[in-house]
Structure 1
Amino acid sequence: MTSFVLVDFDDTLVDTGPRFRERRDALFSYLENLGFPRAHSYRIHHEVVDRELLGIWGYGPFRLGASFRDTYLRLCSMEGRIPEPVAARRAESLADGIDQPPPPLPGALDALARLADALPVAIYTQSAFPTYQTRCIENSGVFGIVPRSRLVITPDKSPESYRAALRSLDAGPPERSCMVGNSVRSDVNPAIRSGARAIWVDAGDPWHADLADPLEGDLTRVESFPEAVEVLLPCEFPPASTRR
């Protein structure tokens, strides 16, 4: 039986992903106009530059502009072109505004409030910039539902950090907990490896670095956070055939 629920933030409660995808698409279109094939730009950004900068900047928005600039510079180097400073600055500027707080997903905060009324809930989120991430969470209105004392920010989600989060929250053993999140790699699999239950909020079109196959375990797949709450609190929701 679940006695404590950890909830992810980005793309579980708030709409983070589309802003990143739109800016990356704008970069690939810009580079294509400069004569770099889209598929090649995509590969260099995702498989080379972004991976390098992820190790430096960690998770969060602050590596995006640098990754755009460096993708352009790397492409120029590979093709023997002399980089144009104006073009490099233009590529970097396509990431402008990415650090603005993301808006809540439809119905997510109401569902979070229902869940928090029924079970102990904490926000368990991943970021290399805790101050920035806390500001985004505050801006979303989540702290009006879940207190700050139940916020855990980790630079990287792993089975070890999941268990550490439970200990810091005095939440009991992993087997009594449930992780709700959109990332198979960061939310679902570490929780299952820890012996916890997991609910995967599969909203489609995941970030390329989040792609992974879910492990076997106590796993439920849903398409939104409100659906996850229905799974966790089934007695509050009548069967679909009886709803009006």
Structure 2
Amino acid sequence: MTEKLATIAFDADDTLWENEQFFRMTQERFKELLADFTEADHLSERLLAAERRNLGQYGFGIKGFVLSMIETAIEVTEDRVPASVIRELIAAGQEMLRHPIHLLDGVEKTVRTLAEDYDILLVTKGDLLDQERKLAQSGLGDMFDGIEVVSNKTPDIYRTIFARHNTAPERAMMVGNSMKSDVIPPIEAGAWGVYVPHNYTWEIEHAEAPSAHPRFHELPRLTELPGLIDAIQKS
């Protein structure tokens, strides 16, 4: 008999609302601004390398992304990037921080339905102020029993979060669009991991699916989550 689920945790960006598409739009603008200095493919590689390098210092989110773009612009132009380009990159980041929230299809109904029977958590990476802004604009805030904005998502962090909310890992489920952050670590912590892919996923978040693991599931859309949970509870 499977241990009954008590807590359902959700990732935020690209699980509940759109996010990565705005990074990609800004990155296209970045390429346009630096088109006279380097090839677009080379620029993308350099930017991704800077983002990887800077995660430990800036963390996840828009502010770190903008700083990585500026750093990359300085590097590829050998310190010749015009101040006007830097100004446009900063403005692009500010625009991203002001962008209205767009919930993904069926999110509100799905979360509200599950909130009737389960403790609902939000577990997200990123800048605290930006994530608080997005949650406030989403209209979902009153549905969550706990909000966790973390610098990284590891098995130990998930164990700590579940313990803080009085839930054993085997009675918890994490749902998200990142195999690397939302699926593999909670499974390693003893919880369930449900992968709901998004059209756009940041390269850094890619990882091999633990397809053979009994606590791993993949759903084509979030609206199928209540049915999956019902099946697990009856098993």
Shorter-chain TM-score above 0.5: yes
- Mapping of 1:84-233 within 5 angstroms? 84-100=82-98, 102-127=101-126, 129-147=127-145, 150-171=146-167, 173-215=168-210, 216-217=212-213, 218-233=215-230
Aligned residues: 226
Maintained 8 Å contact 1:68/1:92: no
Partners of 2:80 and 2:161 in 1: CA distance: 49
Question: Taking structure 1 as the reference length, what is the TM-score of the superposition?
Answer: 0.85
Match of 1:30 in 2: 33
Change (3 A) 1:114 1:37: same
1:186 alignment partner, SS class: helix
Q: Deviations over 1:83-108 (max 9, x none)?
A: 32223333443333111353211210
Say yes or no: does 1:43 pair with 2:58. no
2:77 alignment partner, SS class: helix
Change (3 A) 1:85 1:221: same
Change (3 A) 1:95 1:202: same
Maintained 8 Å contact 1:28/1:38: yes
Maintained 8 Å contact 1:65/1:96: no
Maintained 8 Å contact 1:184/1:210: yes
Change (3 A) 1:124 1:58: same
1:55 alignment partner, SS class: helix
Maintained 8 Å contact 1:69/1:89: no
Change (3 A) 1:13 1:83: closer
2:60 alignment partner, SS class: coil
Gaps of 5+ in 1: 236-244
Maintained 8 Å contact 2:120/2:143: no
Partners of 1:145 and 1:45 in 2: CA distance: 37
Q: Deviations over 1:1-47 (max 9, x none)?
A: 32221111111111111111111122123322x14101110110002
Amino acid at match of 1:62: K
1:94 alignment partner, SS class: helix
2:62 alignment partner, SS class: coil
Amino acid at match of 2:45: R
Gaps of 5+ in 2: none
Partners of 1:31 and 1:226 in 2: CA distance: 41
Superposed CA RMSD in Å reads 1.9
1:214 alignment partner, SS class: coil
Maintained 8 Å contact 2:119/2:144: no
In the TM superposition, residue 170 of structure 1 has moved relative to its aligned partner by 0.6
Q: Deviations over 1:190-241 (max 9, x none)?
A: 0111121111011233111101112242111112221223322359xxxxxx
Partners of 2:144 and 2:81 in 1: CA distance: 49
Partners of 2:221 and 2:74 in 1: CA distance: 39
1:87 alignment partner, SS class: helix
Partners of 2:12 and 2:40 in 1: CA distance: 31
Question: Taking structure 2 as the reference length, what is the TM-score of the superposition?
Answer: 0.88
In the TM superposition, residue 75 of structure 1 has moved relative to its aligned partner by 0.3
2:34 alignment partner, SS class: helix
Amino acid at match of 1:213: E
